[in-house]
């Protein structure tokens, strides 16, 4: 017992001894018992010791780091006094500098290292969790190198000399407070802050030789004490893009050399919330600002753009008929735009609305009419746009939408000389008299969903739906009301209809030419169908002809065919720990010379592996711009040479979280929605990239317990929300083995309204199908047609289900020429069956890997003499 503890114990004992008649009260089931303490000396001594310890003992959870292991290993008990490893709620006290290289999954409530340097240096995760209170890091110097720091509530980082972060993610649900004196917060590359709020008002300098932290979606509080400094000509402030910036009016920005525009979500200077617009911060007259901008080089400029914020406008009909951009028509006075909500307490007809926009039109009890040769845009800033009215009429109008548009009409939707155009899904739900299509209604969207509409009626023709995926439900009836009516607007559409769907034909003798047709669960093959017969697919729908003798046939065009191509995998992007961000050290993407070599060989299909964790460090979070930029560069190399790219998410149906554990897609930690989200965002990023052959949604899923089809459908759905151009490539359960395909994937059937799904298998030719090739050709049991035989179950399955296929990986070692015979027979068999493939593997880091097809000092690998014979041309 220390001298201080002895004194505290003595004080506690005196309190008890000097009051011998105090009674000890014991409560049990609401009954009170009293024991005179002068009769229970032993009990009194025990009690006084306990009270003394509770009142006066130091923190029971205050381990001191002694540094017996160097570099530091957090979970070594010998590093701590007492010899226990601190955890959540505990305080870690340092009496020496410490560098931790092994700290994954560890946690602590507070760190006290006020006179020492503390460094976290590994691709691992550390959690600050103070059990409901603010977690605290109090250091002299604090360095995060290649680390993820998580905090459970709020985290206060107090550094007296310098905070340095590089390749670091700091993530939590609350507020991150950073107070850094001395040299301030020095930001290296790839620093990401994912918190609700970042408060740096107590930090003097935020300095960077590369860029600010990635702060998209974060509220950032800057105070007058802070200076924001870009120290070098390569420095950038673009990490502020998408942030909500709150800064003091006397704030100072120091720019070394910059000519860039920052795009903020919101910006508050002093007490002024600035309206949307672009601001030249060379001028101090912004809001009530008195801040200064210091440019070290003449001619540098910087501007800040503030995004539009959604408002609600009420139309009061001052001008009739309605003029959209008359500010006096609206309360508040102004003109609504993208993201804004429009309401009205009266019927309204707009005759002047060209170039205007809204996010939501909320008029469920009123009639809304657009009547002019003009264009109106529904843009809800990344969310579904909505038109909700009793009656909707669009005459001589182009209605545009930027994402998805949901039209809800309770009585009637009437469209004449109308073009409705957008990149996503148009959902039209109409009750009452339904959707009455007049002359020249054209739909130019990815998907038209009318499954919630009761009647689609026309006295002329259906809307022009060429190239559109049209979803009809059993609730819908399509009706041609007059002898002159026509269904020819469906020509070229991809029709998906419920098996109990009903068609009402007044008088028709026509043939509809569909791009594809799905009835119930059946994808109908190309051919001609007589819809007078109900025996189509698994259909139970009915066709009602008003006049005897009327007929209708539907032709289904030949299905989409993937281009037959062969190529190689260029591996490297999947190397290393999934959460490692040290590019060029732990993982690599192919360089330009790789594309030169394989293009010269005629191998113009390149499969590029990448890790989910690197493009999206947090499931459901923002995509990581640095990783996307690297992949964009690789895609650009291919495009410049006329080569096609498959983007292969190389994750085996699992995702490694910051806690160091890998979780199956569909678990509570990594949900199907997370998986849908990442592919939705990736497809949105690449949807206009013309040289993408397809999206490889998952490499070699395995151990999913039969849930892989659910996950695969989620990814496909996410892609099709934004991308109607690219193929979706679906690997199979069971490591995608072609030889065992039927054991795991008999019921794998991903629904795509565009019918652009390719199923991907892998096949190796060694004894255990693994591609390790640990034995000789003879000991592996190989023979010339072993590849042909092993891939046949997959090829048979494709033919039986009318699916298209792709072999994403196959390869042979370079130590026996007989393997080349196996490879040639295998490739010839794929080509004969119209199945494309990519050899495993090329790439810059293979070294002596036996299956590598990389040249060695300018000399082709032995396998290349076979590989280059099969290009698909």
Residues in the chain: 873
Is residue 780 annotated as part of the catalytic site, yes or no? no
Question: Which of the 8 DSSP states describes residue 563?
Answer: P
**DSSP tag of 637:** H
What is residue 348's three-state secondary structure?
strand
Give 608's strand partners: 647
| Contacts of residue 123, Cβ cutoff 8 Å, sequence gap at least 6 | 146, 147, 577, 579, 580, 581, 582, 586
Query: In which region does residue 795 sit, left (phi positive, over 0), alpha (psi from -120 to 50) or beta (all else)?
Result: alpha
360: phi then psi, degrees, rounded to nearest 5: -140, 135
Q: At what angle do helices 786-801 and 818-832 cross, to 10 degrees?
A: 20
Who's near 433: CB < 8 A, 6+ residues apart? 411, 412, 455, 457
Which residues lie closer than 8 Å to 867 by C-beta, 6 or more apart? Answer: 566, 568, 601, 603, 823, 827, 839, 853
Beta bridge pairs of residue 566: 837
Return the sign of the alpha-carbon dihedral for residues 574, 579, 585, 591: positive
Is there a cis peptide before residue 661, judged by omega within 30 degrees of 0? Answer: no
Q: Taken in order 542, 545, 551, 555, is the CA torsion positive or negative?
A: negative
Q: How many CB atoms lie within 10 A of CB 332?
A: 10
Catalytic position from the list 613, 760, 780, 809: 809
List Cβ neighbours of 255 (8 Å cut-off, separation of 6 or more): 230, 237, 293, 294, 295, 296, 300, 302
Cβ proximity of 620 and 581 under 8 Å: no
Catalytic residue flag (residue 700): yes
Question: By three-state DSSP, how is residue 633 classified?
Answer: helix
Please confirm whether the linkage preceding 82 is cis (ω < 30° from 0). Answer: yes
Which residue in 660, 741, 728, 739 sits closest to 696, CA to CA?
Answer: 728
813 vs 773: CA distance, rounded Å: 7
Please, what is the Cα angle at 531 between 526 and 534, to 5 degrees? 105
CA distance 845 to 724: 35
Cα–Cα distance between 440 and 420 in angstroms, integer? 11
* Closest by Cα among 103, 95, 99 to 76: 103
Interstrand relation of 527-530 and 551-556 (parallel, antiparallel or unpaired): antiparallel
Q: Where are the alpha helices (DSSP H) in 193-285?
A: none
Pair 367, 393: CB distance under 8 Å: yes
Q: Which is the catalytic residue, given 412, 627, 700, 854? A: 700
Residue positions annotated with a catalytic role: 700, 809
């Amino acid at each position: 017992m220390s001298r201080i503890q002895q004194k505290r114990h003595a004080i506690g004992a005196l309190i008890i001894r000097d009051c011998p008649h105090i009674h000890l009260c014991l409560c049990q089931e609401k009954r009170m018992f009293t024991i005179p303490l002068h009769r229970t000396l032993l009990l009194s001594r025990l009690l006084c010791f306990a009270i003394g310890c509770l009142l006066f003992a130091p923190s029971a959870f205050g381990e001191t780091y002694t540094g017996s292991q160097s570099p530091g290993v957090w979970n070594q008990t010998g590093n701590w006094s007492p010899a226990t490893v601190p955890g959540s709620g505990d305080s870690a006290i340092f009496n020496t500098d410490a560098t931790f290289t092994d700290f994954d999954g560890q946690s602590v409530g507070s760190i006290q290292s006020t006179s020492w340097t503390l460094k976290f240096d590994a691709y691992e995760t550390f959690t600050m969790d103070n059990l409901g209170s603010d977690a605290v890091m109090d250091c002299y110097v604090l360095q995060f190198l290649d680390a993820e720091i998580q905090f459970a509530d709020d985290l206060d980082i107090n550094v007296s000399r310098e905070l340095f972060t590089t390749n670091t993610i700091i993530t939590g649900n609350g507020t991150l407070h950073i107070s850094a004196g001395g040299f301030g917060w020095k930001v290296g590359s790839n620093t990401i802050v994912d918190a609700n709020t970042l408060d740096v008002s107590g930090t003097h300098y935020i300095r960077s030789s590369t860029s600010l932290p990635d702060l998209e979606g974060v509220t950032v509080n800057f105070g007058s004490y802070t200076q924001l400094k870009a120290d070098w000509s390569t420095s950038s402030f673009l990490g502020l893009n998408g942030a909500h910036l709150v800064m003091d009016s006397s704030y100072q920005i120091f720019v070394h050399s910059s000519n860039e525009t920052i795009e903020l979500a919101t910006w508050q200077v002093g007490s002024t919330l600035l309206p949307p617009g672009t601001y030249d911060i060379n001028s101090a007259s912004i809001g009530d600002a008195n801040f200064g901008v210091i440019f070290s080089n003449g001619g540098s400029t910087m501007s800040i753009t503030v995004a539009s914020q959604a408002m609600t406008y009420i139309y009061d009909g001052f001008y009739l008929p309605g003029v959209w951009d008359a500010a006096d028509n609206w309360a508040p006075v102004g003109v609504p735009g993208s993201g804004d909500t429009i309401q009205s307490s009266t019927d309204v007809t707009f005759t002047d609305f060209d170039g205007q926009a809204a996010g939501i039109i909320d008029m469920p009890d009123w009639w809304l009419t657009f009547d002019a040769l003009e264009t109106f845009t529904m843009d809800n800033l990344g969310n579904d746009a909505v038109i909700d009215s009793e009656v909707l009429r669009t005459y001589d109008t182009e209605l545009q939408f930027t994402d998805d548009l949901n039209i809800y009409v309770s009585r009637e939707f009437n469209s004449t000389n109308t073009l409705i155009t957008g990149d996503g899904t148009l959902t039209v739900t109409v009750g009452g008299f339904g959707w009455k299509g007049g002359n020249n209604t054209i739909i130019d969207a990815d998907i038209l969903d009318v499954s919630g509409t009761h009647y689609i009626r026309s006295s002329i023709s259906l809307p022009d739906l060429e190239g559109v995926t049209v979803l009809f439900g059993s609730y819908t009836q399509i009706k041609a009301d007059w002898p002159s009516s026509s269904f020819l607007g469906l020509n070229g559409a991809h029709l998906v209809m419920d098996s109990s769907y009903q068609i009402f034909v007044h008088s028709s003798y026509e043939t509809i030419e569909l791009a594809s047709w799905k009835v119930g669960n059946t994808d109908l093959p190309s051919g001609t169908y007589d819809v007078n017969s109900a025996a189509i697919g698994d259909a139970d729908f009915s066709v009602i002809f008003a006049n005897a003798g009327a007929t209708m046939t539907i032709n289904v065009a030949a299905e989409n065919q993937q281009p037959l191509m062969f190529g190689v995998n260029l591996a490297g992007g999947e190397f290393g720990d999934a959460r490692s961000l040290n590019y060029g050290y732990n993982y690599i993407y192919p360089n330009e010379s790789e594309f030169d070599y394989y293009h010269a060989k005629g191998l113009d299909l390149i499969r590029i592996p990448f890790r989910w964790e690197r493009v999206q460090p947090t499931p459901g979070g923002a995509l990581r711009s640095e990783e996307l930029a690297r992949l964009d560069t690789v895609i650009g190399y291919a495009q410049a040479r006329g080569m096609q790219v498959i983007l292969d998410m190389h994750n085996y149906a699992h995702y490694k979280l910051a806690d160091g554990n890998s979780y199956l897609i569909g678990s509570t930690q990594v949900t199907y929605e997370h998986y849908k989200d990442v592919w939705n965002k990736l497809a949105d990023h690449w949807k206009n990239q013309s040289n993408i052959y397809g999206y490889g949604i998952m490499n070699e899923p395995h151990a999913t317990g039969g849930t892989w089809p659910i996950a695969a459908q989620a990814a496909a759905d996410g892609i099709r929300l934004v991308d109607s151009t690219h193929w979706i490539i679906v690997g199979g359960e069971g490591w995608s083995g072609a030889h065992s395909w039927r054991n795991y994937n008999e019921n794998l059937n991903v629904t795509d309204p565009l019918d652009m799904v390719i199923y991907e298998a892998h096949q190796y030719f060694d004894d255990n199908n693994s591609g390790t090739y640990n034995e000789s050709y003879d000991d592996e049991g190989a023979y010339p047609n072993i590849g042909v035989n092993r891939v046949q179950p997959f090829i048979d399955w494709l033919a039986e289900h009318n699916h298209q296929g792709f072999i994403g990986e196959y390869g042979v070692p370079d130590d026996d020429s007989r393997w080349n015979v196996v490879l040639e027979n295998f490739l010839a068999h794929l080509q004969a069956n119209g199945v494309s493939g990519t050899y495993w593997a090329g790439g810059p880091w293979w070294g002596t890997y036996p299956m590598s097809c990389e040249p060695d000092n300018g000399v082709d690998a032995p396998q290349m003499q076979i590989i280059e014979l099969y290009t698909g041309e």
